[in-house]
Amino acid sequence: MKIHSWDFWDKKTILQTILFVSGFFLIILLFVFGPNVYRHFKEKTLDMTTTATITSCRDNTFRGRSGLYTLNMVINYKYIIDTVAYSNVEIVPYDGRNRPFLDSIYHSQITIISIKYSSRNPAKSLINIK
């Protein structure tokens, strides 16, 4: 009686392995691209622009083997719409697209920024990164 190597693998084990590996890659993709995708879809609902004043800015860094790595920046800002003052906190991911803007805020102490907000609910806003 000859035993083949495919006899040791049943369909259930193969399916579980494929699901596990694809789920693992999906989690990695969501971790890497998730914040920007969420920001992109949230920005589509905002229709008005105005200026805001940055009240504080700090970076979230961790120490790795070869130095410090910045994950994101926490920016507090306030703005006025129709004599009502609003304030908001935004966590902006520190990636290739946002890095020049965030560096200009952090190093040159820019205090006035452009934001987008919803005309129906002005408390909902995002920093307008260009």
- Angle, CA of 125, 129 and 130, to the nearest 5°: 140
The burial class, CB within 10 Å (0-12 / 13-18 / 19+), for 70 is middle
Q: Read off φ and ψ for residue 44, nearest 5 degrees.
A: -65, -25
**Residues 27 and 86 reside in one and the same domain:** no
Flag whether pLDDT at 111 surpasses 70: yes
Taking alpha carbons only, the member of 106, 84, 98 closest to residue 126 is: 98
- Asked if the structure places residue 53 within a domain, the reply is yes
Give residue 6's pLDDT band: very low, low, confident or very high (50, 70, 90): low
pLDDT confidence of residue 61: 81
Query: Is pTM, for the whole model, over 0.75?
Result: no
CB 60 within 8 A of CB 74: yes
Total count of domains within the chain: 2
- Asked if the structure places residue 75 within a domain, the reply is yes
**Residues 30 and 49 reside in one and the same domain:** no
pLDDT confidence of residue 129: 83
pLDDT confidence of residue 78: 95
